[in-house]
Structure formats: C-alpha cells, structure tokens
C-alpha cells in the first residue's frame, strides 16, 4: 500500500489531500479484507471487492456510510491498488477489473447571484490594516479567475502578470497541470492594492516566502484559513446559504455562461479535463432561462 500511495504522488502527481483520502479508503478496505479472513491481495476475489462496494454504501462494517461520490472514490482507490499490484507482479490477476464504482448523481452546482458576489466582496474588505486588503484580493481572485482554493493559496508572486495589456495568472491544477487565466480589472486592482500596501507588512513577520497570500505570521495562508476568510465575509454580507470557495468557482462559470461565453472556453478557464464536467453549468443556465420564460411569457402559463 505504501508503494502504491508513493506511486500516486510521484508518478501520477496527485495532491497530498487526495492521497490522504486514498489512504483512509485503503485502510478501511484492508480492515474489511482482514475481517473476511483474507491476508494478502493475491487471495482477494471479485465477490470480495463487490462486497466492499456494498459495505461502504451501507456501513455494514460499523463505519460511516459513504455518499455516492465518496464511495466512488473509495472503489477507484481499491481498483487502482489492485491494478498496481498486477503491474508490479505482486499478484497474477486483478479481481477488481469488473467491479464498477457507484455512479454519483449529477448535482447541479450551487452559485450565488452577481449582487450577492458584490456584497460578499465588499464585506471582505471591511476593517483596517493589511488583512482586509488580503481578504478582498483573495476573494476577487477566486471569483475573477474561477481558481480552486488550493490553486489560490499555492500561488507565487511570480505566477502573476498584472502589468501587460491583458493581466494573467498561471494556475497549477490537479496533477500540476498548468493553465493561464486572464484576470479582470477589479481583481487586478484588489491584487495590486494588496501587493503594494499589505503584503510587505505581512511578509516582514516571516522569512521571505514567495507565495502571494500570507497570514499574519508571514507564512503561506492555509486552505482552512482561506475558507475561514470566506465564511466570515459571507456572514458579514448576510448570505444565508452555505458559501464555500467552490461556490465562487461555480458562480464564475455560471455567470460566464449566462453572459454568452462558449462552454469550451469556460472548460479551459476552469482547467477541466473534459467538457462534460463543464456542461453541468449549462444545466443551471438553461434552468434559469426556463424559469424566466415561465414567469414572463404571456403564453407560458395556464
């Protein structure tokens, strides 16, 4: 298992968060196998793997019941481990090859309105000192580029190019896949204000870290702290619904598509490997059009 997890990090470029999730999934799998009297991967048969799928969906092993998306990840981890063992010569067969992970239902992404985004951004900049400038720049960047929270907090100053005719940012997504995304005027203003007036003060407390967003100790802002920044701003803005960093990413995509952007352009901006993922957002805009039509057209109602 250690070899497989190391392979995921070194050869596949998976993030530490994904690897940690795979580790938990595989530890649960090995406990399940042990309870069935199975000591090695070579002894596993297809019904054993299929039984594990039922276990994670039912909690029959006394552990938590996994949602379809988490169960799918758990089965993917198991299948990858068996495939790795076969390729490495540890086993002579892959008992998981015919076992398919549960298909998670396609949930429509949650987005907030443009007016709510504006309230959120204004709320982030309330107060004095360098922190409000940092918080405003962070949220402007998340909404203005559709960046994932991990991409934003991992951003280095050299990844920003704000001086050209079209300001851009280099983002590094899943598997360290790089993409260049334009940065809008409002985000550029917020970033420049932070970099000139706030970041130097925060950096003095640290040791010259190159990342863009720093905490009050001069160290890189963590994902958890960035999440807290957003939650606090959402509370001050009076947003009742749960607002997460992904909410801003969803809103970025939804508002682009509502404004007429091509879905393949949005795919590139988001860093999606497949346009199918991006097309979830088109369902949101189509639903909005249906609602407007039903409410406004004189022949749409009984």
Catalytic residues: 148, 174, 246, 249, 272, 281
Locate the DSSP E strands across 33-142.
none
How far CA 282 is from CA of 145, 231, 238, 262, 273, in Å, comes to 18, 27, 28, 10, 17
CB atoms within 10 A of CB 198: 20
What's the token pair of residue 121? 């951004």
How far CA 112 is from CA of 43, 80, 120, 238, in Å, comes to 51, 37, 10, 13
Provide the CA 284 distance to its chain's centre, in angstroms.
19
56: exposed, middle or buried (Cβ count in 10 Å: 0-12, 13-18, 19+) = buried
Provide the CA 237 distance to its chain's centre, in angstroms.
23
- 99's torsion region: left (phi>0), alpha (psi -120 to 50) or beta? beta
How far CA 278 is from CA of 63, 189, 298, in Å, comes to 34, 28, 33
Q: List, in sequence order, the alpha helices (H) in 156-262.
A: 185-197, 199-203, 223-237, 245-258
Task: Quote the crossing angle between the two packed helices 245-258 and 223-237, to the nearest 10°.
Answer: 70
């Amino acid at each position: 298992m250690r070899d497989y997890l190391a392979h995921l990090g070194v050869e596949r470029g998976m993030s530490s968060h994904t690897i940690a999730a795979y580790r938990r999934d595989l530890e649960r799998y090995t406990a399940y196998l042990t309870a069935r009297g199975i000591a090695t991967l070579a002894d596993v048969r297809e019904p054993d793997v299929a039984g594990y799928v039922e276990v994670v969906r039912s909690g029959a092993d006394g552990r938590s019941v996994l949602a379809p998306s988490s169960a799918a990840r758990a089965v993917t981890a198991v299948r990858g481990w068996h495939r790795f063992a076969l390729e490495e010569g540890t086993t002579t067969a892959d008992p998981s090859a015919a076992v398919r992970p549960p298909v998670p239902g396609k949930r429509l992404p949650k987005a907030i309105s443009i007016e709510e985004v504006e309230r959120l951004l204004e709320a982030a900049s309330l107060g004095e000192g360098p922190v409000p400038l940092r918080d405003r720049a962070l949220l402007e960047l998340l909404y203005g580029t559709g960046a994932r929270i991990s991409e934003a907090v991992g951003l280095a100053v050299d990844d920003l190019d704000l001086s050209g005719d079209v300001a851009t940012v280099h983002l590094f997504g899943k598997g360290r896949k790089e993409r260049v995304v334009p940065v809008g005027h409002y985000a550029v203003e917020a970033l420049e204000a932070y970099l000139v007036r706030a970041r130097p003060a925060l950096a003095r407390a640290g040791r010259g870290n190159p990342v863009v967003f720093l905490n009050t100790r001069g160290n890189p802002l963590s994902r958890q702290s960035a999440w807290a920044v957003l939650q606090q701003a959402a509370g001050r803005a009076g947003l009742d619904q749960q607002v997460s960093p992904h909410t801003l990413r969803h809103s970025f995509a939804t508002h682009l598509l509502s404004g007429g952007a091509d879905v393949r352009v949005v795919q590139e901006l988001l860093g999606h490997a497949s346009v199918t993922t991006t097309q979830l957002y088109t369902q949101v805009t189509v639903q909005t059009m249906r609602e407007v039509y039903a409410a406004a057209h004189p022949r749409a109602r009984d």
